[in-house]
Structure 1
């Protein structure tokens, strides 16, 4: 979906200067755009230092051109329509056709020149989160630069003095613009291609929205009660899987630009945190984990060796963050008898279904009428039934023999005989209970 005509050629001479220097439209690199919400293949380098490119989950990498030794990129801040899942689209603000914007990739020691064209209805800037650069390139509107007016293009130009994983987002009307989805990743690969090299390198941002059922635009004033918990503005079941070949060395880089922390948990493996947005973690400072809490405004990268085949869940361990379109004022009906009230309601609404008296799992299988542009709270199907998930949830799919560069979904894993839980139909021993136990079983057996 790239529009890359003449993009990777040498190009004409461009206007350089400070971040606040206005430019003419002549000589601008073409602004590549994307209108596909699927994970795109990594952009393999064709010149300069070698590196293994990252794969942006449900996203893509921004192409660049080289002009007199400087890598030039073109970001366009603009309103976008983002498909969050099949049947639901959000009207957001982003970059180059999507929210989040495309991942920028370069190499330690590169000089980059980034043109930013503002097609928003208000001014903006870009802050390069975690990067070491001149004060005038830091992107704080009113402090380090004038704001970029609507319809204008400004230039940021600086040297990449350290490798690591960074983010970009506005520092102008930040509450509105970030709440509308303006953010992206900036990955700087090490100059030494053998340093911290991995076989598969995934990146995605954590973001959240409050979008009322049947509507399209986020409620930007919300501070805590979000109902759409997203990875790269996508929600399960439409977050792509992380596809891995057995025995690959795998890195997962996760940035958090929501209003709360997220403990990201991966099943089937332990891993080591190897990078933060402050830099690489020394080997002696790493420790084994199965969950890593990612604070607000931070990035954590972890690595593991893909030894174990299977379909392994990866998700935020805050249980409400694996739900969609949640209401926060719903009463709990567990244990309540709703038979009589259900009969009365059906006289007015014949298709009424009483739910919640035995938990909410039945919502994962039932299909109820929903407002337009709304997705069920729990959804998604696996090989053994309803997954009863949503929001920040995906699957790491480890398979034998997946080719390098192949990220296509291999389908569901078939557990070998004797390795899957099964139903027991034999006799059960009487459970042992303490004589002085204070717990009473409800209902009593």
Structure 2
């Protein structure tokens, strides 16, 4: 991790001149006033950035991400984003060569408070021009970030500054509005949370955020196919796929909020097990408490943001995922034939004669892919992966686990391990009417962790992926 906050601890000598449009920063004197750009390369959730001055709020935690530090310069809260090429680990065993901000895709979460005056410097280290659009924010037209329409493009090597006052609290995001097909397909996006100026308004104990994005990366390659419109093979939360997505950890009794935005090319029905929840916020604003509606699945269309709240009163390990089943797969080939019901024993013998190690699959479904060790091309992931305490979870893509535990301290987000189920509360095999259900033994845990190590096959060898 490389995060420098030195320059965020003191005010800049530069003046706080109000601008009416996104403006280029040039010249030695002006450049000396730009806040240092913090950067991050780790793909694990960083601790929330608790405010030390100003209005009190409970900070968000970003799945596999972090919050950008800032500095106060007079009445302005200053941030610095750097648009640049990045390398992002999607899960252990696979990385992607993307574009992002400050070392990562997505970029750091920006947090501020309703009423704040924010100044955001944007430096372009990409090979082409860019801009930043503040999706859902109410800003002056000249700060809206649409290249050619509301501002000049930010050319490579240049720095522009955006200035605006935050007129409402809620759940927002940022992304380019220049060569969008390429730049968003390459991972350029970030979360923007504006907290209410009233610290008590809709306050929660734990506040999680993630952005949804999709990529088409052929096995053995590293760069997404940016011209793809519908046939994506990697569906991500914060540019991570299961089993690489952080767990959402909460203490029993906590009031929890989960916020997410969609920058893919299709909608995502996000479903959480174990609870019903109240939809509390959209990118248009807060849903009045009396109007918040109960759900167990909430759809998020392209370009939308959604948030829901619940009280974590049921301990356990609860799945949370997109309910489009193909979106919980990794590196999924879409031209695979359906062999369910086909007896391939005889043909398999013939194929093995010319292809040693060939394994026929799919005749009884695809579950065996979650258990078997199979050779993989370089830089790709198994389609179905991840192990829990009872065996293979057979998921990928947009999937994680909400872990609710008794006795967790406030601010403790460490993985508490697998849930220890009370006696008699695990589904079990029926062995006859004489069996005492309460005394049924729990299933034996499957060795292994939810994170997997992928061993790539060497040329000419029989290497396997170890789940």
Q: TM-score range by the shorter chain?
A: over 0.9
Consecutive unaligned residues of structure 2, counting only runs of 5 or more, are 435-467
Q: CA deviation at 1:18?
A: 4.1
Name the counterpart of 1:254.
260
Identify which range, 54-63 or 18-27, moves more after superposition.
18-27
CA contact (8 A) 1:15 1:23 kept: no
Name the counterpart of 1:408.
414
1:22 equivalent in alignment to 2:24: yes
Counterparts of 1:295 and 1:333, CA distance in 2? 34
Deviations 1:338-382 (A, max 9, x none): 011100100011200000000000000111111111010000000
Q: TM-score, normalised by structure 2?
A: 0.91
CA contact (8 A) 2:386 2:395 kept: yes
Consecutive unaligned residues of structure 1, counting only runs of 5 or more, are 429-445
What is the aligned counterpart of 1:209 among 201, 204, 215? 215
Q: Report the secondary structure of 2:368's partner residue.
A: helix
Name the counterpart of 1:313.
319
Q: CA deviation at 1:298?
A: 0.2
1:263 equivalent in alignment to 2:269: yes
Q: TM-score, normalised by structure 1?
A: 0.95
CA contact (8 A) 2:7 2:71 kept: no
Q: How does 1:184-263 map to 2 (within 5 A)?
A: 184-263=190-269
Counterparts of 1:286 and 1:13, CA distance in 2? 45
Q: Report the secondary structure of 2:7's partner residue.
A: coil
Counterparts of 1:139 and 1:372, CA distance in 2? 39
What is the aligned counterpart of 1:51 among 54, 57, 65? 57
Identify which range, 284-293 or 389-398, moves more after superposition.
284-293
Counterparts of 1:207 and 1:329, CA distance in 2? 22
Counterparts of 2:210 and 2:433, CA distance in 1? 49
Name the counterpart of 2:340.
334
Q: Report the secondary structure of 1:301's partner residue.
A: strand
CA contact (8 A) 2:106 2:238 kept: yes
CA contact (8 A) 1:205 1:255 kept: yes
Name the counterpart of 1:117.
123
Q: Report the secondary structure of 1:285's partner residue.
A: coil
CA contact (8 A) 2:219 2:380 kept: yes
Q: Report the secondary structure of 1:283's partner residue.
A: coil
Q: CA deviation at 1:12?
A: 2.2
Q: CA deviation at 1:15?
A: 6.8
Q: Report the secondary structure of 1:176's partner residue.
A: helix
Name the counterpart of 1:358.
364
Deviations 1:282-325 (A, max 9, x none): 12211111000001000000000000000000000000000000
Q: Report the secondary structure of 1:6's partner residue.
A: helix
Name the counterpart of 2:404.
398
Name the counterpart of 1:103.
109
Q: CA deviation at 1:7?
A: 2.2
Name the counterpart of 1:167.
173
What is the aligned counterpart of 2:285 among 279, 292, 296? 279
Counterparts of 1:396 and 1:59, CA distance in 2? 17
CA contact (8 A) 1:237 1:379 kept: yes
1:10 equivalent in alignment to 2:16: no
How many residue pairs match? The answer is 428
Deviations 1:253-276 (A, max 9, x none): 010110000000000000000000
Deviations 1:144-165 (A, max 9, x none): 0111001100000000010001
Q: CA deviation at 1:26?
A: 1.6
CA contact (8 A) 2:21 2:141 kept: no
Counterparts of 2:217 and 2:114, CA distance in 1? 39
Q: CA deviation at 1:229?
A: 0.4
Counterparts of 2:349 and 2:109, CA distance in 1? 55
Could you say what the CA RMSD is over the residues aligned between the two structures, in angstroms? 1.0
Counterparts of 1:288 and 1:94, CA distance in 2? 35
Counterparts of 2:309 and 2:389, CA distance in 1? 28
Counterparts of 1:241 and 1:60, CA distance in 2? 15
Deviations 1:43-75 (A, max 9, x none): 000000000000001100000000011000000
1:423 equivalent in alignment to 2:429: yes
Q: CA deviation at 1:14?
A: 4.9
Name the counterpart of 1:71.
77
